Chains A and B, each alone.
Chain A
């Protein structure tokens, strides 16, 4: 039998449904890949039995002639930010190490209900704060891609969904969940040559996802291609009364609507994203993308997003502000780590627990967030940042009068080496410069592999759509994908 781990979501779903192979065979194949990929450190916890149990249930359903779900027989990786009943949910932090929830996040439950099974909990940047997966308490993830210069340097898989991106790229799972606050799905997808979409804010319930920045956090799928992402997003999305910010809209049949025909579509190219000193390969891949969409029938229009340069500073005020408050609940009182020094009082316990339980990047953001919300600074920082956020939304609204979807690079560069930016938070933050505006505006945005750079590393192109127009984003993504012909083949070294 062919290697089942070479198959994606749609192929597995259809193969299981047709009886070409069983769901259990699929689960066993991926379980074996997970077990053999310790060097990548993509998983914090592997759950082979959970994958097998779900697969058996799917096979049993098929034997009885029952309909299988959208994700029937597809084993997936679950970012360890989603609460999973009975399985450690750590957010890659020490403070939640050993925390095992008695509840299941809405999104993961929907995936299990659709027939998916869980291969394990995927590594990430601690509390989803980071762009390289180096802030995890459980060690960094290694990108399965290597440069072609023979240097063998270990590369970052991107972040925060770095375990998800590495696992999908390395065929440890056909798809994985991600979450995106300021690029955490799109940037790692770009760094590892896979596809990932952050839907419109509110499409996927946040209930049961460890919060980083509530007004920005959004779950989405990461998979090998556009169709796989489409199928999985359909399973993940939908209104949830338990999340007040959830969108009360039906989930369209995006898969049925998939079309690479761009005739009559206008693709916007934002002038402000073409920055001085832009990486030549990134610029070239952007030009390729423009040409491909033109070939697919689209009209290309130049657009302006004048407040782009303020997006990153505004993001690094709003996200830490919300995080500083969201992370206050990790205090050692009710669950998770408690450090209670001899003779300590309540304040000492807070200090000791939080000093030991949070990593450096998380502390940095809590400090920034606390500072910008403080009396006397609130208006200068938080209020200003919110105004910028509104202006950025207006930029997009105006731009979408002239175009249907926006094309831009996902990141300013290909994957960087582990350790390269660890001591330079600002250059790390700059990685998200193209990703953050869509997050601030709550718009659907996707990264699709566009080819390799001169070092042999994948580059991603980003599509940003109108609110609720995931279909437009997915279709443009499909057009790019078909034109790019990116295979995602990499040499297995682990």
Chain B
């Protein structure tokens, strides 16, 4: 991949990017209260006395949140801190009932780790890059202000207030919008494998603060800006592109970059200033005296480690080396945990149905899943998660192809009917009479008809025009209504033409 550079009037500029990703921890209860965390509930229906910061209420840590943060840290090979602590970040805002957010500044639960990203999806064998993760800490989310409910007043919804977040802070290691996009996608994939976050960016379960600065290659870091709460991979990339170009313009026209917080506007694809460093809060962080330090013992860490699933990198490697899949297919199948899970079920059933080893049917299953099923589902506007065809049902279809009952082209039709009706492949083939003809007698009869009807072409072929062979195959298949076994057709044609 070529280096990403911004062409300025004074020469080339390099972009430096760091991301702080906020990932909502997948739990039923909030970080310090028992209130529910379901998305889309009526305003203020998921608020405990603690979330509303009633007098005398105290936070009690939810162990599941700690566990998920630790597992996430382990998944990126990070240092797990056996001693961590919660701090208060103090500021006033109407969506923050306590007047402080409980976070971890001084002693985060997870220390340095790393994530390896493939820079180009289309070229999985191309270059990879390791992006450092400085830390992961656990903190509370704030509530939400609603400004559109009343002409002169704002309303407050505290449902999100106190929901557990992991803040995953990268090193300033990314150098292009594409790298940042790849990092977010990979991080999202890992979180979903681990099960610590559902990664749903539209619902706000994952969002990024994007730190961008520019510099002439080889020079020290420039002043950065931070664009808050960007909630899709595309917007992260747009933010970087816009912000980097804006910074180059400012510097080249004699200005200086101010360290500030900015907002991304998805409608225009641009960023604008929210507040400058001078207006920045003094958060007066100090250890939360309501909470004891979090101390993790070896048994807890061990159980976290044992609960980790096979992660995308390991899985991709196994698919390539053990199953013999292409790097591209392995990459596609492992990018999303649901896809991998579906594929592995398919593989399992396919091997069982065909009485073969998984490695013997893996290529067939992978190719079919990627080139047939994805397309067919896409055509009817659905995806794998909502697929009307189960992995077991699909294995039934693959078995029919494998034992020669139907051809690949008939299989396409069968799949469409399976999606439409939910019936099994075998039933459809039986009902629709789609069984492939392998009876040489019946095929020979049709071939004789085809050759008789095309005597001129037969002469040309025999005169050396080999390319016409395909024409005869096509005509025979047509005459057989596509149900002839193509291998048998080939053999017979060669014999009868030869």
- A-side residues, CB < 8 A to B, are 82-83, 89, 91, 96, 99, 101, 103, 105, 206-211, 213-215, 241-245, 321-322, 324-325, 327-329, 331, 333-335, 346-347, 350, 370, 373-375, 378, 382
B88 at the interface (CB under 8 A from A): yes
Residues of B within 8 A of A206 (CB): 56, 58
Most buried by B among A82, A327, A333, A373: A333
- From A91, A99, A243, A333, B97 is in contact (CB under 8 Å) with A333
- Bound state CA distance, A207 and B57, in angstroms? 6
Q: Are A325 and B291 in contact (CB under 8 A)?
A: no
**By the criterion CB–CB under 8 Å, are A373 and B284 in contact?**
yes
Contacts of A210 in B (CB 8 A): 55-56
Instruction: Judge whether A244 and B291 touch: CB under 8 Å.
Output: yes
In the complex, residue of chain A having the shortest beta-carbon distance to the beta carbon of B49: A103
Query: Does B497 reach chain A (CB closer than 8 Å)?
Result: no
Contact with A334, one of B52, B88, B90 (Cβ below 8 angstroms) = B52
B53 CB within 8 Å of chain A:
yes
A325 touching B55 by the CB < 8 A rule? no
CB atoms of B56 and A325 under 8 A apart: no
Besides A103-B54, A325-B88, A329-B53, 8 other A-B contacts (C-beta < 8 A): A209-B56, A210-B55, A329-B99, A333-B94, A333-B97, A373-B284, A375-B282, A378-B284
B281 to chain A, nearest CB (A): 10
Q: Does B279 contact A (CB under 8 A)?
A: no
Judging by beta carbons under 8 Å apart, are A242 and B60 in contact? yes
Tell whether, in the assembled complex, residue A105 and residue B289 are in contact, meaning their CB atoms are under 8 Å apart. Answer: no
Asked, given contacts A214-B289, A333-B156, A373-B90, whether A96 binds B284 with beta carbons under 8 Å apart, the answer is no
Asked if B97 and A244 make an inter-chain contact with CB atoms under 8 angstroms apart, the answer reads: no
Complex Cα–Cα for A322 and B292 (A): 15
A77 to B156, CA, bound (A): 37
Min CB gap B16→A, angstroms? 25
Question: Once bound together, how far apart are the Cα atoms of A373 and B281, in whole Å?
Answer: 13
- Could you tell me the distance between the alpha carbons of A93 and B322 in the complex, rounded to whole angstroms? 71
* Distance of A346 Cα from B97 Cα, bound (Å): 13
User: Is B124 positioned at the interface, with any CB of A under 8 Å from its CB?
Assistant: no
Task: Answer yes or no: B286 CB below 8 A from chain A CBs.
Answer: yes
Contact between A83 and B55, CB atoms less than 8 A apart: yes
Q: Does B98 contact A (CB under 8 A)?
A: yes
Residues of chain B having any CB pair with chain A under 8 Å: 49, 52-61, 88, 90, 92-94, 97-100, 154, 156, 282, 284-286, 289-292
Known A333-B94, A333-B97: A96·B55 in contact at CB below 8 Å: yes
Residues of B within 8 A of A334 (CB): 52-53, 97
A residues less than 8 Å from B59 (CB atoms): 244
- In the assembled complex, how far is the CB of residue A480 from the closest CB belonging to chain B, in whole angstroms? 33
How close is A463's CB to chain B, nearest CB, in angstroms? 26
The interface residues of chain B, by DSSP majority, are classed as loop
Residues of B within 8 A of A375 (CB): 282, 284
Contact yes or no, A244 B55, CB < 8 A: no
The residues of A that contact B284 with a CB separation of less than 8 Å are 324-325, 370, 373-375, 378
Contact of B61 among A244, A347, A373 (CB under 8 A): A244
Contact indicator B60/A241 (Cβ below 8 Å): yes
Instruction: Select one of A105, A322, A331 contacting B92, CB under 8 A.
Output: A331
Instruction: Collect the chain B residues with CB atoms within 8 Å of residue A215's CB.
Output: 289
Q: How far is the CA of A208 from the CA of B55 in the complex (A)?
A: 7
Q: Is the CB of B90 within 8 A of A89?
A: no
Q: Is there contact, CB below 8 Å, between A350 and B56?
A: no
Q: Which residues from chain A contact B290 at a C-beta distance below 8 Å?
A: 211, 214, 244-245
With a CB–CB cut-off of 8 A, which chain B residues contact A103? Answer: 49, 54
A373 to B52: give the CA distance in the assembly, Å.
24
Looking at the assembled complex, report how far the CB atom of B49 sits from the nearest CB atom of chain A, in whole angstroms.
6
6 contacts between A and B (CB under 8 A): A99-B55, A208-B57, A210-B56, A244-B292, A325-B286, A378-B286
Contact among B54, B97, B286, B291 with A373 in the assembled complex (CB-CB below 8 Å) = B286
> When A and B form their complex, which 9 residue pairs have the shortest distance between CB atoms, in order from nearest?
A328-B99, A373-B284, A215-B289, A214-B289, A329-B53, A208-B56, A210-B55, A375-B282, A214-B290
Do residues B92 and A328 form an inter-chain contact, with CB atoms below 8 A?
yes
Q: How far is the CB of B104 from chain A (nearest CB, A)?
A: 15
Contact B52 A101 (CB under 8 A): no
Evaluate contact between B100 and A328: CB separation under 8 angstroms. yes
B90: chain A residues within 8 A (beta carbon): 324-325, 328, 373
- For B283, the closest partner residue in chain A by CB is A375
Q: How far is the CA of A322 from the CA of B56 in the complex (A)?
A: 14
Shortest B157–chain A CB gap in Å is 12
- Shortest C-beta distance, B296 to chain A (Å), equals 16
**Residue of B at shortest CB range from A351?**
B92
For B280, the closest partner residue in chain A by CB is A375
A142 to B53 CA separation, bound complex (whole angstroms): 33
The residues of B that contact A244 with a CB separation of less than 8 Å are 58-61, 290-292
- Across the interface, name the chain A residue whose C-beta is closest to B86: A244
- Cβ of A207: which chain B residues have Cβ within 8 Å of it? 56-58
Give the distance in Å from the alpha carbon of A214 to the alpha carbon of B58 in the complex. Answer: 10
B98 in contact with A328 (CB, 8 Å): yes
Q: How far is the CA of A324 from the CA of B88 in the complex (A)?
A: 12
Give the residues in chain A near B57, CB-CB below 8 Å.
207-208
Q: Shortest Cβ distance from A332 into chain B, in angstroms? A: 10
Cross-chain contact B286 with A83 (CB below 8 angstroms): no
* Option from A99, A242, A321 in Cβ contact (under 8 Å) with B58: A242
Q: Which of B58, B61, B92, B292 contacts A350 (CB 8 A)?
A: B92
B286 adjacent to A382 (CB under 8 Å): yes
Partner of A101 from B53, B55, B282 at Cβ < 8 Å: B55
Give the residues in chain B near A331, CB-CB below 8 Å.
92, 94, 99
Query: Which A residues touch B285, using CB under 8 A?
Result: 373, 378
Chain B residue at minimal CB-CB distance from A208: B56
Select which of A211, A333, A335 is within 8 A of B56 by beta carbon.
A211
CB distance from B153 to the nearest CB of A (A): 10
Cα–Cα, bound, A153→B88 (Å): 45
Q: How far is the CA of A99 from the CA of B292 in the complex (A)?
A: 30
Determine the residue in chain A with the shortest Cβ distance to B91.
A328
* The residue from A89, A324, A350, A374 contacting B55, defined by CB atoms under 8 A apart: A89
* Bound CA–CA A206/B57 (angstroms): 8
Interchain CB contact under 8 A, B56 and A329: no
Closest Cβ–Cβ distance, residue A204 to chain B (whole Å): 13
A325 touches B94 (CB 8 A): no
